[in-house]
Amino acid sequence: MKKIIIVLAVIISACNPQVEKETAKEQKGAGFFLPVEGEKFVVASDSLTEIWMNYIKAHNDRDLETIMSMNTDSISIEDQDGRLIQGNEMHIAALDAWFAAEDPKWEVYWAMPYKAVNGGEEWIIAGHQVTTTIDGKEKVQLHMIDGQIENGKIKQFYIYSKSIPEPPKNDLDEAE
């Protein structure tokens, strides 16, 4: 019986060779970033996803203190209109005004944390459905946000948006 167990153990270990884990520096990565020659990216830790989800929750909760604590003091944000928001104070003032004017709500529908192989910067790219309300009318947009996280805080992010078109009307709708 011992011989059978030993033979099975040898067969199983031969069929499942151990793969050494690569460090980020050893990983080849994929993609490119023109400003940094040779830069590639790999999947990063889901701890970044958790940070981002907590950040969005603080936005939905209108918790400006938590948002401020999660930002670096020098946070930099480029919104979908190209407006640049720099610094924690300016960010909080802009959010406070936006919360009052449009009551935005975020729903994250996908996220991917990634890390630069050579530089080590950590980022998350995430898709959000953002609903705003102006004069009682809701408007829904899709926002893709590419954000850098440094030492557990949001350092910078870029917002790209797309409006969701109204569904097309068909002839049956007009006949009613």
Total structural domains in the chain? 1
Residue with token string 């992010």:
157
Instruction: Look up the CATH number of the domain holding residue 132.
Output: 3.10.450.50
Structural domain range at position 147? 43-163
DSSP 18-79: --PPPPTTT---B---TTSTT--EEE--HHHHHHHHHHHHHHHTT-HHHHHHHEEEEEEEE-
Does a structural domain hold residue 171?
no
The pLDDT tens digits for 136-154 are: 999 999 999 999 999 999 9
- Look up the pTM and report it: 0.79
Residue with tokens 């996803």: 49
Structural domain includes residue 24: no
Residues 6 or more apart whose Cβ sits within 8 Å of residue 133: 102, 103, 139
pLDDT at position 12: 44
